[in-house]
Every structure is written in C-alpha cells, then in structure tokens.
Homo-oligomer: A and B are copies of this chain.
C-alpha cells in the first residue's frame, strides 16, 4: 500500500479552489438569508445527488471518444454514463418527471449547491461553483414570474444589498419575437442574430446595434462581424422597441405602440401588465424592478418573461475607469422542463444566482461585514504541570461564548505568543504556577499590539484606554477578556 519512493505533488486539480473560513462565512450568510426568504414564499428545499445519468442531462449525450464535452462524465459499473450536474435545472427536471404524480402542483422548490463545468479554467473561472436556484414548475401564470422577481429582490436585500444597489430588469421574449414575425423575420437563426445584436446595446450604442441588425459591423481593429441581415424598416422597428426606455406603467403604454400590432407581442404586453399588477400587490417598487426591452438574458432556452438583476453601483477598475459589474442573478420562463422525459410541455419559471458572484457584489457594495478573521483566545502553556488549569480556563471562556483554545504545539513562550498573534487572537491568557497559587491570571491584549504595530489606531488614545497587559483575579478573567473584545469592536479594525 505505502509507496515511500513516490511523492505526489500537493496541489488541487486545475480549476478547483480551497475555501477558507472568511469566504465560507460570507457564502453561508448569503445562503441562510436567502433560504429564509424563499421559505417564507412557500418554496421547499430540495437537494439531489451530484450525478445524473447523462441521457437525463439533456444537452449532452456521451460519445466514447469525447465523453467530457462540457461536463465531467464517467461510465458506471453497469456501463451507463453518469455526469456531474452542470446546473440545478436539469436535476429539477429529472426530479419533477420522476415524481410528478405525487407532487402538489404548482411545485415550488429552491436548491443550492455545487455545480461542475468541465471547461478551461482561468483567473476567476472555476470548474466548480455554488448556484442557488428557485423555480415554480407547473404554473403558466405571469404572476408566477412576478413572484420570482419579488422574491429575487427580497433575497438580494436579505443577503445585504441595499435598495438602489441593484435593479431587476424585466423583458418578455414574446415582444421582440412578435415584432420580428410581423416584420416578416421567421428564421430562428436570424432571430438569434437580432438577440445577439440587441445584447450589445450597452457596449456599442444604437449606431453599432443598427449595423449588427443589418449587414454587419467592422470594429476598430478592422474585424468584421456579420449582421442579422434585417432590412431598413425592420431595423428601425427593433431600435424603436429597445429604446422604449425602462419603467413600468409608462413603458407598458409605449410598448403597445412599438410592437407593430403583432399578436404575440400583444400577449407579451398583457403578461407584463399582469406582472406589474402582482408586483404592485407585493409592494415591489420601480426602484427594485422595472421593464427594459433591451434585456436579452441568454440566447435560447427562455420562452416568455426574462429578468436580470444588475448591480447599480458606480465602479472603477484598477485604472480608475468606469466599469459595469453586470448581472448578479436572473432568470425567466422556460416551458420544456420535463417534456424531454414525459413529452408533456410543462410551464416553469425560475430565478438563479451564483453565490461567489453575489458575495463579490456585496463586497463591492461595502456590505460584507465580519469577513475579517477573528481568532480564538489562546491560553498559553506556560508550565506543563498546570495543563489541567489551562483547559479549565479555555472551557470557561467557551462556556461564556468566547472562542478559545489551549496552545497544543511544543514550542516555548515566544513562539506561542507569535502563534496567538497569527491566529488573530484578541488576547492571550498566561497563568504561571505562582499566579495560579495566588488565584490570578495575566491577560495580554493582542488586539492592542496589532493595532499599534499596524499604525491603524491612534496610539495615544488606545494606550490611555488599554493597558496592554494586566493581571486580574481568576474569577474576573471572562469579564476582562470580554472588555478587550468589546473595546476592539468599537475601535477601527486592528
């Protein structure tokens, strides 16, 4: 079994990362807050296993030459191909199809957990990340979409985004689709080209999009992008549509005028009106969610209302130039969820976000409190014969809710103090035999030491208030340490 001659290199596989306490705390805080909101909306938690059969994953059927296209796949003992889930929607589809008869319908569930993508990793691009999804399956009502939007907004706020930090932009695929049909554009490829062009409105402006809707566009480098091939009138109709502007009641009025009398477009406007009414009922304001015909939200897949939560904070990159953070979540309506299994089209709508990305948005918004590491109090092993007293002191601190540990290495006093400092301990507890005999304990204020050495604190003020080291009666140990922790919480972060 053992191979003394072979020493593997210790490294995580490409695209997989180790997460330390601060990051895990931030993720946990988000998931706890959002779960509570989703449960209040009547959504139940569901967790499926990491694997699905490859044939159930939908977009993927393995071939033995290249079984790993996009997903991590392997062949089970019984020769069936399995793959790690690449999102939470495919497992939901399988679960719904498997249990449809026994579920109370519409079925509302939320889920969070890792998903895996077998893609080329890069900076900030991982092959495993945590998604959080909520979906309502079996309701065709636009109000189900409205609920997703309201719940998404409430979830983002519960996670820590302030109102105004984000905006949920709502669109409906039926609007542009109907407009194009009326304009004589029926080819799915051409429609896709239109969506791609519209998606670049933010970056290229109206003139750039006009070129991409028509013959195509040459960029600064001279590279040519072929356009969607629309003619003049259709181009102007699309541009009028996407520039209707963002809002709710006003936008609804104006939309009716620019969709070109299309029946599908009119249905899209009706759906948005029902969404607006339900949002009003739930008290969702225009500072939280509004209609924006320029929102595309992915190219295929969605069939009706789509929504995208965008961070609204002014942001700059390292060069000080303005950048958009972009989406922190989104979703929409899709209607072929379980049809692959059952042949029955089943209407569904959902909202999804990536937990790391929302954590990054919270940091950008200055709403990521407590991510600073805070270590335990360290009880120094000063005298081997007194170890029982050290464990009693640590247990007493823990019983008072103060994280604490006895130093368990084999080093002397100075390395122990250094260890306590690296652990970000607020204080060290020192008890020699004499002190124990006198019923005393010495407490070293390590927060103070860090603050003074990092020059963060006003030395004079801190020194006047905090003695650095003190000897107190043993029965005042907990109170004295609590005082250090409380004082540090008031001061700027040491």
Residue ranges of A at the interface with B (Cβ–Cβ < 8 Å):
1, 3, 6-14, 16-21, 24-25, 39-42, 44-53, 55-56, 59, 68, 72-74, 76-78, 80, 82, 84, 93-95, 97-98, 104-106, 108, 114, 116, 127-128, 136, 138-141, 143-144, 146-147, 150, 274, 277-278, 280-283, 338, 340-343, 373, 375-376, 378, 387-392, 394-395, 398, 401-406, 408-410, 419, 422-423
CB pair A48 B281 closer than 8 Å: no
Cα distance A104–B378 when bound, in Å?
Answer: 12
Cα distance A59–B4 when bound, in Å?
Answer: 13
Most chain B beta carbons < 10 A, residue from A139, A274, A375, A395: A395
Closest Cβ neighbor of A423 among chain B residues: B104
Closest Cβ neighbor of A17 among chain B residues: B49
CB pair A74 B73 closer than 8 Å: yes
Contacting residues, chain B, for A139 (C-beta < 8 A):
408-410
Distance in Å from the Cβ of A55 to the closest Cβ of chain B? 4
CB pair B25 A45 closer than 8 Å: yes
In the complex where A24-B47, A44-B21 touch, is A141 in contact with B408 (Cβ < 8 A)? Answer: yes
Contacting residues, chain B, for A387 (C-beta < 8 A):
143, 274, 277-278, 281
Cα distance A127–B51 when bound, in Å?
Answer: 10
Contacting residues, chain B, for A18 (C-beta < 8 A):
46-49, 95
In the complex where A39-B403, A423-B42 touch, is A12 in contact with B106 (Cβ < 8 A)? Answer: no
Distance in Å from the Cβ of A226 to the closest Cβ of chain B? 22
Between A and B, 6 residue pairs with Cβ closer than 8 Å are A10-B95, A20-B45, A40-B404, A42-B376, A140-B410, A147-B405
Cβ contact of A114, chosen from B50, B55, B144, cutoff 8 A: B50
Distance in Å from the Cβ of A9 to the closest Cβ of chain B? 7
Cβ contact of A408, chosen from B25, B53, B144, B422, cutoff 8 A: B144
Cβ contact of A13, chosen from B49, B138, B341, cutoff 8 A: B49
Contacting residues, chain B, for A95 (C-beta < 8 A):
10, 12, 18
Contacting residues, chain B, for A46 (C-beta < 8 A):
18-21, 24
In the complex where A49-B18, A401-B40 touch, is A410 in contact with B141 (Cβ < 8 A)? Answer: yes
Closest Cβ neighbor of A108 among chain B residues: B405
Contacting residues, chain B, for A395 (C-beta < 8 A):
150, 281-283
CB pair A105 B409 closer than 8 Å: yes
Contacting residues, chain B, for A16 (C-beta < 8 A):
48-51
Cα distance A404–B154 when bound, in Å?
Answer: 14
Cα distance A9–B375 when bound, in Å?
Answer: 51
Distance in Å from the Cβ of A59 to the closest Cβ of chain B? 7
Contacting residues, chain B, for A108 (C-beta < 8 A):
405
CB pair B7 A343 closer than 8 Å: yes
Distance in Å from the Cβ of A408 to the closest Cβ of chain B? 4
Given contacts A3-B340, A13-B82, A281-B387, 13 further A-B contacts (CB under 8 A): A1-B59, A11-B56, A20-B46, A21-B44, A41-B398, A41-B403, A105-B419, A106-B409, A139-B408, A146-B391, A147-B405, A147-B406, A277-B387
Closest Cβ neighbor of A407 among chain B residues: B106
CB pair B42 A106 closer than 8 Å: no
Distance in Å from the Cβ of A363 to the closest Cβ of chain B? 18
CB pair B128 A49 closer than 8 Å: yes
Cα distance A293–B26 when bound, in Å?
Answer: 44
CB pair B42 A403 closer than 8 Å: yes
The 3 closest A-B pairs by CB, nearest first: A16-B49, A281-B391, A42-B405
Cα distance A72–B51 when bound, in Å?
Answer: 11
Cα distance A172–B144 when bound, in Å?
Answer: 60
Contacting residues, chain B, for A13 (C-beta < 8 A):
49, 51-53, 76, 80, 82
Distance in Å from the Cβ of A456 to the closest Cβ of chain B? 21
CB pair A282 B392 closer than 8 Å: yes
Cα distance A162–B143 when bound, in Å?
Answer: 47
Contacting residues, chain B, for A114 (C-beta < 8 A):
50
